[in-house]
Amino acid sequence: MTTPVTTSAPSDGTLEVTARRKRMLTGDRPTGKLHLGHFVGSVENRIRLQEEYEAFFIIADLHMLTTKNTRADIDQVSTNARDMVLDQLSAGIDPEKATFYLQSAIPEVSELNTLFQNLVTVPRLERVPSLKDMARAAGKDEMPYGLLGYPVLQAADILCVKGDVVPVGKDNHAHVEVTREIARRFNNLYGEVFPIPELVISEITTLVGTDGQAKMSKSLGNTILLSDDADTVRRKVRGMYTDPNRVRADIPGTVEGNPVFLYHDAFNTDRDEVADLKERYRAGRVGDVEVKEKLAAAVNTFLEPMRDRRATYESRPGYVDEIIVDGTERTRVEVKAVVAEVKKAMGITGTYNQLRRKAEQARKRRGE
């Protein structure tokens, strides 16, 4: 991989070269534990990309407020944040490489959000399809102002660390497009400050729910969690939605779009077994029970190494809290520098400096 290199020439004429690794920024709202949908949509790519990119993972609690903002919701954030980080470490994120941070603990992100709000129009945001879905899912009749601005705040998240790549699931693709537009517009207006971040698309962009709904989602209660134990996985798989027309094992069934087979494709590494099951399913020569038992076994095989890692991390009390706090402090330093650069490029810093100089001169003249 080629590392981008920034050069600066100090006044003594020597050339100072500082290499900066490219960065990945992504994350989740602290609304609950991570599930298989998070894994295929984003976490799998996080694990792959952490080798090449400097990794920043946001715990997006300000984004949570756009649909969940009661005191009870907010009181859940620390527990959910711990769970989310533990889920990611268990899945294979390396705590030595990754930086996790809590969005609300970095107020400069909100400052950047404010500065970005004028680089995008309301009709543009109204065309982002996921926002309407989220409003509907949260039972809102009308679009909250903050929810309309969700992609702008996300642009602030990505650009506050000058993120280069953003691995996210399908519902987030349009948001990253808004980030790219904001970055371009900023650079055109005020000079080259930001990279234009690239979306990293996963193989399965949306995982269906266990109930057959289009998306596995915390708020729909149709998930298999990365932290589920073997019995829970078996129980959830047993209750999964399959081909509704197939009331008996000898009736030929449909494989395409069938959640049970979509999961087999995603998580069963025994390709021959999957091919055999599909063939027999189409021919009406296999019962749902066998298909589901084999799926539960495959999902458990997939989750088993995560369970082992989880046990190791869980045996260290306070470990995850330390990771979040250290990561937040470290990220804040980075974000402060970027926001200072942004305000300088926009001329905002200059405005106040001028006023301050004049005020100082006036004070001096009065002999104060």
Q: Are 153 and 63 in contact (CB under 8 A)?
A: yes
**C-beta closer to ligand ATP: residue 156 or 339:** 156
Q: Are 317 and 311 in contact (CB under 8 A)?
A: no
CB of 5 to ligand ATP, least distance (A): 30
Residue nearest to ligand ATP (CB): 41
Q: Which residues contact 274 (CB under 8 A, 6 or more apart)?
A: 261, 264, 265, 268
**C-beta closer to ligand ATP: residue 31 or 258:** 31
Structure tokens given for 269 = 């590494």
State the Cα–Cα distance between residues 230 and 353, nearest whole angstrom: 62
- Convert 344-357 into a string of H (helix), E (strand) and C (coil): HHHCHHHHHHHHHH
**C-beta closer to ligand ATP: residue 31 or 328:** 31
Q: Are 21 and 54 in contact (CB under 8 A)?
A: yes
Q: Are 291 and 238 in contact (CB under 8 A)?
A: no
- For tokens 């001329």, what's the residue? 347
**C-beta closer to ligand ATP: residue 190 or 302:** 302
CB of 93 to ligand ATP, least distance (A): 14
State the Cα–Cα distance between residues 6 and 19, nearest whole angstrom: 6
CB of 351 to ligand ATP, least distance (A): 38
CB of 144 to ligand ATP, least distance (A): 15
**C-beta closer to ligand ATP: residue 38 or 310:** 38
CB of 133 to ligand ATP, least distance (A): 9
**C-beta closer to ligand ATP: residue 211 or 273:** 211
Amino acid at 335: V
CB of 162 to ligand ATP, least distance (A): 20
Residues that bind ligand ATP (CB under 6 A): 28-29, 31, 37-38, 40-42, 168-169, 171-172, 206-207, 215-219
**C-beta closer to ligand ATP: residue 73 or 341:** 73
- Phi, psi of 364, rounded to the nearest 5 degrees: -60, -45
**C-beta closer to ligand ATP: residue 187 or 206:** 206
Distances (CA, A) of 103 to 59, 60, 64, 172: 6, 5, 10, 18
Amino acid at 28: D
Amino acid at 349: T
Picking from 2, 60, 29, 5, the residue whose alpha carbon sits closest to that of residue 328 is 60
State the Cα–Cα distance between residues 178 and 28, nearest whole angstrom: 18
Structure tokens given for 237 = 């798989």
CB of 317 to ligand ATP, least distance (A): 26
CB of 219 to ligand ATP, least distance (A): 4
